[in-house]
Structure 1
Amino acid sequence: MTEPNGGPGDGTGPGVQPYYARNATALADRYESLRFETVHQDILTLLPPAPARIADIGAGTGRDAAALAARGHTVLAVEPVPELRADAQRRHPSPAIHWLADALPALPRLDGETGRLDAILLSAVWMHLEEPARPPAMRRLHALLAPGGRLFLTLRHGPPPPDRTMYDIPAHETVALAVRHGLRPLRHSHGADHLGRDDIHWSTLSFEKDRP
């Protein structure tokens, strides 16, 4: 798994979607080699009780979407790369997973979900967003969440790979942006890279949308 702490991201940055399209088959086996519970151990106790409506943005090959569906949730799996979506639907043919071709910051195909989602997962996605796209993306995520809904977001720290666009975004910057858009921090944790790369580590940020 090239980015073991999450899916391949939403393909926003230049050259990101072509990279994942070219390498979909090889990357899929890597993504699926790690369990959801291993990668996302820091958020397990914060997930909403089932049944909940959850969006997995940048769902990749569906590992996380399938795990959430198995826990009794309805999952909107958002992935802009056709090759990854096809692999995911083959691997995880669950009726509880609904696949959509969409991407941050606008997520126009989720218009019908505004204010309805109990949780949103962005695993290894935010790192692909250029700075100007981050405020509208956070604003959109806030709008999609129901009151009391939760956002789970991972950040990759370390040198970016040479073959696609990534940004080492400070956790404090992302927390401040979320707070400005009405999301209350719940937990901030750090973790090592699951592939054992010494120069890569991850932050996991959890937020909750204020209730009226």
Structure 2
Amino acid sequence: MNENINFYNANAEFLAVQYKSISASIVHGSWKHLLLKLDKATKTALDVGAGSGRDASWLANQNFQVTALEPAKKLLSQAKKNFPHNNIQWLNDSLPSLKTINNECCFDVVLVSAVWMHLSPINQCKSLERLMPLIKFRGLLVITIRVGNFEDGRTAYPFNADELVEQAKNNKLTIKINNISNDKMQRSNVTWQTLVFERD
């Protein structure tokens, strides 16, 4: 994981521009309609691996109180600078530990976008167990996973979607969406798998 954090720190400015070039509404188009069901006066979201801050800002603009976690400090700095928003709390943290989040916190939406493939299989299991108590009843867990090798030094681990769905089921999470889509940046060797779970 450290080599990946080093990559995101070393390329923070470039990545912030790259991520901002595609709107969150497009990136998360397969599940954004589910947010309409969360018609509450106060809505909360946890953005794990917030990166450039694009997704946290998108959620904040939809009246979510967002806690945004990012382990790469330079990328986190870019996010704070590019998306100053009163509805976002920025924290330096990462899976599977989430040391800054206690179990008394509960969220309507937990978004883990473009992070899962950087976690080893054992940490994928630990991460789901860590996230489970943070999701409100009828809340959503959204995991987006890049499928395809990195050619820039980042490490990606294999994942098994069927195993993830089964583990989620054992943790009282029901699969709502399991979608594979093309890369929004038109990279021919990259696809994305999006899994959306609802807490029973």
Deviates more, 1:26-35 or 1:49-58: 49-58
Structure 2 residue runs without a partner (length 5+): none
CA contact (8 A) 1:155 1:168 kept: no
| Match in the other structure for 1:143 | 133
| Match in the other structure for 2:114 | 124
2:12 is the alignment partner of 1:24: yes
Aligned ranges for residues 1-212 of structure 1 at < 5 Å?
13-47=1-35, 48-50=38-40, 51-111=42-102, 113-114=104-105, 116-210=106-200
Q: CA deviation at 1:113?
A: 4.2
Distance 1:171 1:199 in 2: 19
Query: Tell me, what secondary structure is at the counterpart of 1:71?
Result: coil
> What is the TM-score when the length of structure 2 is the normalising length?
0.93
Q: CA deviation at 1:112?
A: 5.2
CA contact (8 A) 1:14 1:165 kept: no
Q: CA deviation at 1:162?
A: 4.6
Distance 2:109 2:98 in 1: 15
CA contact (8 A) 2:121 2:158 kept: no
**Pairwise CA RMSD:** 1.4
Query: Tell me, what secondary structure is at the counterpart of 1:142?
Result: helix
Distance 2:181 2:188 in 1: 11
Distance 1:111 1:55 in 2: 12
Distance 1:15 1:43 in 2: 31
CA contact (8 A) 1:118 1:146 kept: yes
Query: Tell me, what secondary structure is at the counterpart of 1:137?
Result: helix
Deviates more, 1:104-113 or 1:16-25: 104-113
Q: Which amino acid is the alignment partner of residue 28 of structure 1?
A: A
| Match in the other structure for 1:7 | none
Q: Which amino acid is the alignment partner of residue 33 of structure 1?
A: S
Distance 1:14 1:82 in 2: 12
Distance 1:113 1:156 in 2: 31
Structure 1 residue runs without a partner (length 5+): 1-12
Distance 2:55 2:142 in 1: 12
> What is the TM-score when the length of structure 1 is the normalising length?
0.88
CA contact (8 A) 2:3 2:155 kept: yes
Q: Which amino acid is the alignment partner of residue 97 of structure 2?
A: A
Q: Which amino acid is the alignment partner of residue 172 of structure 1?
A: D
Change (3 A) 1:22 1:71: same
CA contact (8 A) 2:96 2:126 kept: yes
Greater RCO, 1 or 2 (C-alpha within 8 Å, sep 6+): 1
